A = this chain, B = another copy of it.
């Protein structure tokens, strides 16, 4: 593998000059530079980023820490789209991305912080980490710059990108209310997700503002899982037949609710209307197609990467980015909608 030393030898200059020439410094004779560049090309030279990173003390690499990168999690393509967005920005600015997942056995042995420090990543993006994850605390308190997705923590070295989940939930519930629904249940995700809290808040606010009562017993925990949501919806629909609509904190759970409704022979949306959250790909392919609050997951990843790298380069004016959500009306709430 060619090194700048080899180039220096061939060019008859010092390695310093080669380094300067290749890095575009101005204090090098233009002819010398051309010659060096030419030789580098001929010798098929590639800079060794390990060596460069060692001396410069930065690697131009960011870590993407995700949890639960399993076979099952593919259904909910959230993580994947975020990843694609991160990747997009990162490669635009010539950084690289290394993926740290915590599904593995490794997760218990090494903390996120250790992973980041060993690989000398310049910063990290955290996605899908539960807010009660002990390692979250650790990495946030470390000196590693990081950007969190959907966890609102802010400090000198920490920023986040999220959407307005209270507003999103309100939009969903107001949509149901505008359709005449008065008896609306909610299937929420687990409580250690920040978004769950927020969506619950939005749910209640919407009811309150419409002068509707809040039935705490109509709020169930589906843990963001399709099967749990199905079970909970089955229970609610059986025990409280007055319920005519469901707001679910995720599309996957909404799919579970659809199954439950079908099993009970209920027509959707006539007997029971269902709205989800996220706009995963399955949503538009479901039967009936699922109304939902769409989040631009790709954009979340893209913006997270952008924010992080701006922070790294000291040109971030704010550490927070809030993205918009959009109400998508489909046939799980409105018949023959098109």
Please list the residues of chain A having a beta carbon within 8 angstroms of any beta carbon in chain B: 1, 46-51, 53-54, 59, 61, 69-71, 73-75, 77, 79-81, 83-85, 87-88, 91-92, 94, 96-101, 103-107, 114, 117-120, 255, 281-282, 285-287, 298
Nearest chain B CB to A311 CB, angstrom units: 19
**Is the beta-carbon distance between A106 and B77 smaller than 8 angstroms?**
no
B74–A80 touching, CB < 8 Å? yes
* Closest chain B CB from A28 CB (angstroms): 22
Q: Pick the contact of A50 from B47, B53, B71 — CB < 8 Å?
A: B53
5 contacts between A and B (CB under 8 A): A50-B54, A50-B59, A74-B80, A91-B100, A92-B106
Q: Is the CB of A74 within 8 A of B81?
A: yes
With a CB–CB cut-off of 8 A, which chain B residues contact A51?
54
Q: Which B residues are CB-close (under 8 A) to A75?
A: 281
How many copies make up the complex? 2
A132 to B274, CA, bound (A): 46
Whole-angstrom distance between the alpha carbons of A83 and B282 in the complex? Answer: 20
Q: Are B99 and A49 in contact, CB atoms less than 8 angstroms apart?
A: no
- Among B46, B49, B281, point to the contact of A282 (Cβ < 8 A): B281
> Chain B: which residue is nearest A106 at the CB level?
B91
The docked-state distance in angstroms from the alpha carbon of A81 to that of B94 is 25
Cross-interface CB contact of A84 among B71, B88, B96, cutoff 8 Å:
B71
Best-surrounded residue of A83, A99, A114, A298 (most CB of chain B within 10 A): A99
| Bound Cα distance from A104 to B302, whole angstroms | 12
Q: Smallest CB–CB gap between A261 and chain B, Å? A: 16
- A285 → B minimal CB distance (Å): 5
CB distance from A150 to the nearest CB of B (A): 18
Find out whether the CB atom of A61 lies under 8 angstroms from the CB atom of B92. Answer: no
**B97:A99 contact, CB within 8 angstroms:** yes
Q: Which residues of B sit under 8 angstroms from A298, Cβ to Cβ?
A: 71
Contact residues in B for A47 (Cβ distance below 8 Å): 118
How far apart are the CA atoms of A53 and B51 in the complex, in Å? 9
With A98-B96, A98-B98 known as contacts, the answer to whether A74 contacts B281 (CB < 8 A) is yes
Shortest Cβ gap from A256 to chain B (Å):
12
Chain B residues within 8 Å of A100, by CB = 91, 96
Contact B71 A74 (CB under 8 A): no
Q: What residues of B have a CB within 8 angstroms of the CB of A98 in the complex?
A: 61, 96-99
CA distance A80 to B77 in the complex (A): 8
| Chain B residue with the shortest CB-CB distance to A120 | B50
Shortest CB-to-CB span from A58 to chain B, Å, is: 10
